[in-house]
Amino acid sequence: MNDPNATITLPAGSAIFEEGEPGTVAYLIVAGRAAIFLRRDGIEQPLAERGPGEIFGEMAILDSGPRPTSARAIEDCVLVPISEAQIENRPLQADPILRLCLGVVMARYRDAIALLKPHAPAVTARPVAVEPSPALKADFQAAISVVMMERALRRALDRNEFELFLQPIVRLGTETLAGFEALIRWRHPEQGLVPPMTFIPVAESSGLIVEITEWVVSEVGRIMPEIMMAALQNPGAAEGPLFLSINVTGYDLARASFPAMVAEMLRSTGIAPATLKLEITESTVMRDPAGATEALSVCREAGMGIAIDDFGTGYSSLSYLSKLPITTLKVDRAFVRAMLTTPCNRKIIQTILVLADELGIPVVAEGIEAPAEAAALAEMGCAYGQGYLYGCPVPLADTLALIRNWKAAGGDAPQIAAA
């Protein structure tokens, strides 16, 4: 904020902006005072004064309309401009409900100012109904769908409409089963199977993800014994106990009770902690590195595995890798998909494998669809693979059948129809 290159110095009396101009910046006042005013019949009508630590000119950049007022420095001013681009990526802009509320407040504020203007109808007159802008209409629609989705998710939790699908993770060398990733599905009564990417973001922004993750954890407690039993029925399928990976978000880790909640499920079911892995993306970790590190450390100390998901696509701040108690890196399928055609992707995978080797942890390559990809990854020293080549995510019953019928290297790995 005190970066001298980012400040503007204006002598007292300078105009800062004029009513009706397009507004592209707001101003934070570091020093001095500014007057906000309207001109009525050539006479200035003061509206407000702003001083150090205050902001002005924010309206035009928040709703992209013309400046509703004018502003002038009434003392020597030092100002920090805030651009539209700086506002654009803030969480407020990402959340349609907050954006709608803001849009409505702005529209009403603009109406109120319009009533003070020279050509405005008398203050006692009813303001003319203003047609909402297309942007406001779009925000309105987006906010409605988020609210509806939140309600539907809450109902889905109450009515037990979620289901865990499971996708195999194999040892690339021997093509034996190593474990499964649990991937949530919503069996919607009318819409059928809803994929997670359509509801997880809303579950996160509404906080419902916490209850959904709790459901996932308890469901793992229910299905894990069945998976272990199926593995016992086909001793050639795996080389050791199968693990189960679940996806965890920063919202889950932010709750102090998260590690205890998972530990309690493990204790009450007698499931070995080492057979549960928590998958977490780099971007989630980077939102609150200290909090995430603390929660994951407690889980790791309790014996659970910690995998970094979609590795290579997020912030990729390597400094956190040394601090987090990571036991696995999962290379994003974007790199795997393009590895045979784009040498650069192959090099990125190679680099991740070297990095993981230095850290002493294995790598899971995601999204393997072709035998040639599996062969290339195995040759490069990648220990584990996951993808449609070995099986799509499928319900528990199909997963149990897959384990019982699994044939390791030498036979053909079974293919399961897409879910």
CA distances 354 to 43, 122, 320, 384, Å, are: 72, 74, 17, 15
Query: Is 328 among the residues that bind ligand C2E (CB under 6 A)?
Result: no
Determine the Cα–Cα distance for residues 68 and 174; give it in Å rounded to an integer. 70
Q: Which string of x and - marks every residue 241-280 that binds ligand C2E (by CB under 6 A)?
A: ------x-x-----------------------------x-
Nearest residue to ligand C2E, by Cβ distance, number only? 387
Interaction pattern, residues 177-196, with ligand C2E; x per rule: CB under 6 A: ------xx----------xx
Q: Considering the rule CB under 6 A, would residue 376 count as an interface residue with ligand C2E?
A: no
Nearer to Ca ion, 171 or 330 (CB): 330
Q: Provide φ and ψ at 112, rounded to 5°.
A: -65, -40
Task: State the nearest-atom distance from the C-beta of 385 to Ca ion, in Å.
Answer: 13
Footprint (CB under 6 A) of ligand C2E, residues 332-371: 333, 367-369
Angstrom distance (rounded) from CA 352 to CA 346: 10
Which of 23, 309, 335, 384 lies at the binding interface for Ca ion (CB under 5 A)? 309
Residue 26 has what DSSP assignment?
A: E
| Cα distance between residue 2 and residue 201, in whole Å | 36
Q: Which of ligand C2E, Ca ion, none lies near 367, with the C-beta cut-off 5 to 8 A by kind? A: ligand C2E
What's the closest the beta carbon of residue 167 comes to ligand C2E, in angstroms? 6
Burial code (b: 16+ CB inside 10 Å, e: under 16) for 282-321 equals: bebbeeebeebbebbebbbebebbbbbbbbbebeeeeebb
The listed partner (ligand C2E, Ca ion, none) that binds 387, CB under 5 to 8 Å by sort, is ligand C2E
CA distance 395 to 159: 18
Closest Cα to residue 392, out of 363, 367, 365? 367
- Give yes or no for a contact between 306 and 296, defined as CB atoms under 8 angstroms apart: yes
How far from the centroid of its chain's Cα atoms is residue 69's Cα? 38
Options 7-15, 290-298, 386-394, 407-415: segment touching ligand C2E (CB under 6 A)? 386-394
Using the contact rule CB under 5 A, the part of the chain among 22-30, 243-251, 259-267, 350-358 near Ca ion is: 243-251
For residue 410, report the phi and psi dihedrals to the nearest 5 degrees: 110, -50
Residue 121 binds which entry of ligand C2E, Ca ion, none, CB below 5-8 Å type-dependent: none
Q: Quick one: 181 exposed, middle or buried, by C-beta within 10 A (0-12, 13-18, 19+)?
A: buried
Which CB atom, from 182 or from 361, has the smaller least distance to ligand C2E? 182
Give the nearer residue to Ca ion in terms of CB position, either 210 or 331: 331
CB of 142 to ligand C2E, least distance (A): 21
* Nearest to ligand C2E of 16, 224 (CB atom): 224
Q: Does 214 bind ligand C2E (CB under 6 A)?
A: no
Site for Ca ion in 355-384 (CB under 5 A): 366
What is the rounded CA–CA span in Å between residue 335 and residue 227? 30
247 lies in the site for Ca ion, by CB under 5 A: yes
| C-alpha 130 chain-centroid distance | 36
**Contacting range for Ca ion; rule: CB under 5 A; set: 16-24, 37-45, 277-285, 402-410:** 277-285
230 binds ligand C2E (CB under 6 A): no
Token pair, residue 343, equals 């040498």
Cα dihedral across residues 202, 279, 237, 349: positive or negative: positive
Cβ atoms of 303 and 273 closer than 8 Å = yes
Residue the block writes with tokens 């995978």: 349
Tokens 């897409």 correspond to 418
What is the nearest approach in angstroms of ligand C2E to the Cβ of residue 114? 46
Helix (H, G, I), strand (E, B) or coil at 141: helix
Q: Report if residue 395 touches ligand C2E, rule: CB under 6 A.
A: no
CB 182 within 8 A of CB 165: yes
Q: How far is the CB of 279 from ligand C2E (least distance, A)?
A: 6
Residue of the chain from 387, 396, 400, 402 that contacts ligand C2E (CB under 6 A): 387
* 328 touching Ca ion, by CB under 5 A: no
Contact residues for Ca ion (CB under 5 A)? Answer: 247, 279, 309-310, 366
Which residues are at the interface with ligand C2E (CB under 6 A)? 167, 183-184, 195-197, 200, 209, 216, 247, 249, 279, 309-310, 333, 367-369, 386-388, 393
